[in-house]
Amino acid sequence: MQYKSQAVAMPYFIAAIGLFVGQIIFGLILGLQYVVGDFLFPEIPFNVARMVHTNLLIVWLLFGFMGAAYYLIPEETETELFSPKLALLLFWVFLVAGAATILGYLLVPYSTLASMTGNDILATMGREFLEQPLLTKIGIVIVALAFLFNITMTVLKGRKTVISIVLLLGLWGLAIFFLFSFYNPVNLVRDKFYWWWVVHLWVEGVWELIMAAMLAFVLIKVTGVDREVIEKWLYVIITLALVTGIIGTGHHYFWIGTPEYWQWWGSIFSALEPIPFFAMTVFAFNMVNRRRREHPNKAAVLWALGTGVMAFLGAGVWGFLHTLAPVNYFTHGSQITAAHGHMAFYGAYVMVVITMISYAMPILRGRAANSEKAQVMEMWAFWLMTIAMVFITLFLTAAGILQVWLQRVSDTPMSFMATQDQLMLFYWMREWAGVMFFVGLLVYLASFFVKGEAKAVATRG
């Protein structure tokens, strides 16, 4: 660890991993509720379990992004963090607010929670992924602004690099687009139009900048490739991501009452969205192949390569499968969408945060890399979770294809619930794949407690 203030990243990483475990537990609960409808009812209704599952995903990824920023910014700027104390204060504020919100979902009826937290003053609740109470949303904005102040001041006083600037741009974009979560117009078309300015422009816009910056940072550290080479790749990737991602928002505007031209704009530009993810895959493998050192942290290298591949498959290939308007007309809102969402989030964002944690945590704990035994266990976790996610995606894709045929294409279409009964086999298989994923996550957690010394970094010509 080059700078003392990098230590503030550790609690963020620990909290991220803990919340990740919670997210997967609620994912397993949801999977069971698909096949055993009254499982944990009325204690945890399906809509509440789904809120907790998706909100935990968002919150733990944000913890991961913040921890990654606190770790890499001091190294990139070659200066200590502007205020480590502020970073630690924000950690506890964000953690307590997040925990209180989740407990609110679980213990208080949603309508009561809305009235208790000022939703009658400014209605912002009841929107998918943005279910957070008004007070929580305000708290997120305060935390985000204070976090950005801390990071921005650090960048301004130190060395300026492409990685730090791209990361900063992505983080500021994340905060700015979240402000649209406060805008909840009565008109449903306008509501959905601007709702996507948060959801889409996060995951297919500014989050891609954060992802690219984190991946570039780790690849510089583990490969020893010249910074100039990696920065050139970074320019290309973020340009492609922004050009395709911003206009590609139109693939959400096909059927919500917006003008017809969005079917063309949305189809064309979202069809181009796999290109930056493919470039990211080529980038990762190219940098590793050109490496000038054999870094002892082989697990971090594996996670980095996996990020490129799985992001391309989940966000790129599975996104393209149903993004063209004539295809989306039949597949919209089916289990094909769920298949894309699971693999895309895992490949693009879950894996890049774990990549950063895999690289940084050993250093934060006073070693260059974990022991061989710990890394073998971590790589087993990688394969268990990744293969499980591939099966989850395949089972949901099969369920989605059958759903589309039975419910929307067949000459004698079935009702929604009758169709769901025909998908039970795939839902059971998805649940068992989810159990396999959870086992992989437990193996990953166990790898942190395996002791031993790592080898020193060996440089090659």
**Residue 456: band (very low, low, confident or very high) from pLDDT cuts 50, 70, 90:** low
**Residue 461: band (very low, low, confident or very high) from pLDDT cuts 50, 70, 90:** very low
Per-residue pLDDT at 84 exceeds 90: yes
What is the arithmetic mean of pLDDT over 78-93?
Answer: 97
* Cα separation, 186 vs 192, whole angstroms: 10
Query: Rounded to an integer, what is the distance from CA 281 to the centroid of its chain?
Result: 17
* Cα separation, 195 vs 84, whole angstroms: 34
Looking at residue 374, its pLDDT comes to 95
- Name the token pair of 11: 């609690």
| DSSP classification of residue 457 | P
Regarding predicted confidence, which is higher, 6 or 293?
Answer: 6
Q: What is the dihedral of CA 207, 213, 217, 220, to 10 degrees?
A: 130
Amino acid identity, residue 434? G
Q: What is the mean pLDDT of the chain?
A: 94
What is the arithmetic mean of pLDDT over 7-17?
Answer: 97
Half-sphere exposure of 136 (CA within 13 A, CB side): 25
| DSSP classification of residue 212 | H
* Cα separation, 6 vs 167, whole angstroms: 16
**Listed residue (437, 438, 442, 353) closest to 393, CA to CA:** 437
The 3-class secondary structure across 84-117, one letter per residue, is: HHHHHHHHHHHHHHHHHHHHHHHHCCHHHHHHHC
Looking at residue 182, its pLDDT comes to 96
The 3-class secondary structure across 29-72, one letter per residue, is: HHHHHHHCCCCCCCCCCHHHHHHHHHHHHHHHHHHHHHHHHHHH
What is the arithmetic mean of pLDDT over 248-277?
Answer: 95
What is the arithmetic mean of pLDDT over 345-354?
Answer: 97
| DSSP classification of residue 369 | S
Regarding predicted confidence, which is higher, 368 or 435?
Answer: 435
**Residue 292: band (very low, low, confident or very high) from pLDDT cuts 50, 70, 90:** confident
Query: Rounded to an integer, what is the distance from CA 74 to the centroid of its chain?
Result: 23
- Name the token pair of 110: 């949603």
What is the arithmetic mean of pLDDT over 82-88?
Answer: 97
User: pLDDT digits over 88-131, tens only?
Assistant: 999 999 999 999 999 999 999 999 999 999 999 999 999 999 99
What is the arithmetic mean of pLDDT over 175-179?
Answer: 96
Q: Give the phi and the psi of residue 458 in degrees, each rounded to 5.
A: -105, 130
What pTM was computed for the model?
A: 0.95
Per-residue pLDDT at 373 exceeds 90: yes
| DSSP classification of residue 424 | H
User: pLDDT digits over 400-410, tens only?
Assistant: 999 999 999 99
Looking at residue 460, its pLDDT comes to 38
- Name the token pair of 196: 């996507």
Q: Which of 1-5, 135-139, 189-193, 386-390 is least confident?
A: 1-5
Looking at residue 458, its pLDDT comes to 42
Cβ contact 270:246 at 8 Å? no
Sign of the CA dihedral with 330 first, then 193, 205, and 343 last: negative
**Residue 1: band (very low, low, confident or very high) from pLDDT cuts 50, 70, 90:** confident
**Residue 441: band (very low, low, confident or very high) from pLDDT cuts 50, 70, 90:** very high
Grouping H, G, I as helix, E, B as strand and the rest as coil, residue 458 is strand
Pairing assessment for the beta strands 293-294 and 458-459 based on DSSP bridges: antiparallel
User: pLDDT digits over 410-434, tens only?
Assistant: 999 999 999 999 999 999 999 999 9
Regarding predicted confidence, which is higher, 63 or 366?
Answer: 63
- Name the token pair of 109: 């009826």
**Residue 454: band (very low, low, confident or very high) from pLDDT cuts 50, 70, 90:** low
